[in-house]
Structure 1
Amino acid sequence: MLFKFVPREDWLPYDRENLWAIRLSADTARIRNVAFLQDGVAMNDIVRFTTDASGVNWAVGRVAASGQCVIRVVPIPDGPLGRSARSVHEAFAEFMLGGESFSESFPMVAFDVPADADFAAIKRHLESGCERGWWDYEVGCGTDAWWNA
């Protein structure tokens, strides 16, 4: 499933992201991985899509939210974790979050945060890591429960 977006200034130069998806109907699919670049979509969300003449499926909007969230964490290169995506994964091990690393040269980790996760504890951990110079982070997809935690 391809998502097209306007690249952000001072960020990665991409204008699309391909996410795994399982077709549910002629024009809907369930997202099956974590988005590194596309905002507003999380694992297990259902999206509507169109198919172009080449057979490529393009997302056109979210139909149903799963309640899951996406946080993206980038270790500070000269911080205690260095340029290690593995160290970021280890730093979040207590929360048992699934996630993927972008690349060795850009060790951003995109975490899938389940709807029943302890959002408040994860947010405290994110902020603590920022304050200690371990990482920067952003929320790629948040729910009302996330923002209100």
Structure 2
Amino acid sequence: MMTVMESASKIKVWFRFVPREGWFPQDTEGLWATRLSDDTASVQNAPFLQEGVAEGDVVRYRTDSDGVHWAVGRVSSSGNCTIRVVPVPTGPLGRSPQAVHQRLSAFNLAGEVFSDDFPMVAFTAPAGADFAGIKALLTQGREEGWWHYEVGCGTDEWWNA
């Protein structure tokens, strides 16, 4: 039986996936999560590489003999979406993740930057956000050469907006 203190602890949950052609060579990504039980946790950050999971989603994991927590599936969706945006170096925003944040600031999206070398921003679009407005701005930015973007995890509400 876990104590309340143990159950609320932060852990790193690791995801395995097949590396994408022309993308990063990694085949794992660790995401911070809040432990909910012996085998479930709530994801606490937006994934840069893993598909099909968003901040706030609950995942099931198994702990291996080395104490590493490996995701084995998503238990429930938070309704949040993961959007990844990479500024076009030769575009009007340059390589600035801050400029990407600024362009999307009206939507109050939380986001993290991958690295200085690769300024991809992984955003969490929360359930109930103006998905239609976000999608319109993402499309405008792509068409005007500001950035490339992809949806790492979308809900029915996102796709139907």
| TM exceeding 0.5 | yes
Counterpart residue number, 1:52? 64
Letter of the structure 1 residue corresponding to residue 148 of structure 2: D
* Structure 2: gaps (5+ residues): 1-12
Letter of the structure 1 residue corresponding to residue 57 of structure 2: D
Counterpart residue number, 2:138? 126
Q: Count residues with an aligned counterpart.
A: 149
- Structure 1 position 89, deviation (Å): 0.7
- Structure 1 position 80, deviation (Å): 0.4
- Structure 1 position 122, deviation (Å): 0.3
Counterpart residue number, 1:148? 160
C-alpha distance in structure 1 between counterparts of 2:34 and 2:80, whole Å: 17
- Structure 1 position 12, deviation (Å): 1.1
Counterpart residue number, 2:20? 8
What does 1:56-71 align with in structure 2 at a 5 Å threshold? 56-71=68-83
C-alpha distance in structure 2 between counterparts of 1:44 and 1:94, whole Å: 21
Q: 1:26 aligns with which of 25, 31, 38?
A: 38
The answer on 1:135 being equivalent to 2:151 is: no
SS in 1 for 2:22: coil
- Structure 1 position 13, deviation (Å): 1.1
Give a deviation string over 1:51-77, Cα, whole Å, max 9, x none: 000000000000000000000000001
Q: 1:108 aligns with which of 89, 110, 120?
A: 120
Give a deviation string over 1:16-74, Cα, whole Å, max 9, x none: 10100011111100000110000000011000000000000000000000000000000
Letter of the structure 1 residue corresponding to residue 87 of structure 2: P
C-alpha distance in structure 1 between counterparts of 2:26 and 2:150, whole Å: 17
Letter of the structure 2 residue corresponding to residue 108 of structure 1: M
Counterpart residue number, 2:91? 79
Counterpart residue number, 1:17? 29
C-alpha distance in structure 2 between counterparts of 1:9 and 1:63, whole Å: 28
Q: What is the TM-score when the length of structure 2 is the normalising length? A: 0.92
Letter of the structure 1 residue corresponding to residue 109 of structure 2: L
Percent identity over the alignment?
Answer: 63
Stretches of 4+ aligned residues off by more than 3 angstroms:
none
Counterpart residue number, 2:5? none
